[in-house]
Amino acid sequence: MSEAEVITRIEGSVGRITLNRPKALHALNLGMCEILTEALLAWRDDAAVQSVLIDHAGERGFCAGGDIRMIAESGATDAVEAKAFFLSEYRLNHLMFEYPKPITAVVDGIVMGGGVGISEPAKVRIATERTTYAMPETGIGLFPDVGGGWFLPRLPGETGTWLALTGARLKAADTVALGIHTHFVVSADLVDLIESVGYHPHAPGAEGDAWGSDPGAAPLAPHREAIDRLFAHDTVEAIFEALETDGSDWALAQLATLKTKSPQSLKVTLRQLRAGRAMSSFAEVMAMEYRLGGRVVRTHDFQEGVRAVIVDKDNAPKWSPATLEGVTEADLDALFAPLASDEEWTPIGG
């Protein structure tokens, strides 16, 4: 395999993209986003390319997120580098969301954060028995960006709210049941599936149907009613109260998990998802998340979350404010406020 961090080529009538940064679980950096964008733009108007397939080298994961260390280091100063990354990454997300040709994402292994951002816009999303999906950002003082404000509120019931706030990890049986992924294919069949996409590039879903199988019962199914009931509130305090009042072992386990997360991130995330649910375009969500991204990475909680989880790995972040009550509506308003007109996020060519 080439040393390039992203390998792009045309195979028959399929534009093929392979993430190739396995030691970092293919975590996205600015250069990778630029290569992905360049390829997709070149193929968009190329009549010889009828569909696109994105996969990854190795077996450990599809994409574990973005380059969090770089983002944190940038956020500790002027955040210029972090904003440049967000601008490129979110433009890539939007380009994929609006892409006129079908995209197939083979999500084999870990898919979190930025990996969700480059797979959820795909028309066909293939999970395997090795797939682990999560949006764990509230545990590092961040929020589920890369379009989380669009995709998560549109999952069934309040499952997106639960996923975003708790950072819960799901396997393929649940991701397929929720519609996060469209097909389950055993990893041993991926080589054949990928080859067969080239035979019917206009209808890659047909190949997913042909090679797909039943991932089994969804472990989350027994809790769906409780999720929809307990996570339907519009304040984090009300969700906490509902979980405590419910008192079941499952509800109290969710509450215990939430109490380990950044209070600021929980409130930012809930407002993001409620706002995103009401937005009519993916671009509008991207603009909101770009405003948030450039500000949140400069906050104490993001810096502390990265220190505790990624740098020192003591998993003992000291959040500030330490309580939900300490995060005010004014604090949230400042994080969500519009940018100067010449600083706002815009799509490619926008």
Active site residues per annotation: 66, 114, 137, 145
Helix (H) or strand (E) holding 93: helix 80-97
- Helix 80-97 to helix 30-44 angle, to the nearest 10 degrees? 30
Measured in degrees and rounded to the nearest 5, phi and psi for residue 125 equal -130, 105
DSSP 335: H
Burial of 257 (0-12, 13-18, 19+ CB in 10 A): middle
Peptide bond into 321 cis (omega under 30): yes
Q: Strand 110-112 relative to strand 132-134: parallel, antiparallel, unpaired? A: parallel
Residue 269 exposure: Cα atoms within 13 Å on the Cβ side: 33
3-class SS of residue 247: coil
List CB contacts of 304: < 8 A, sequence separation 6 or more. Answer: 141, 317, 318, 319, 320
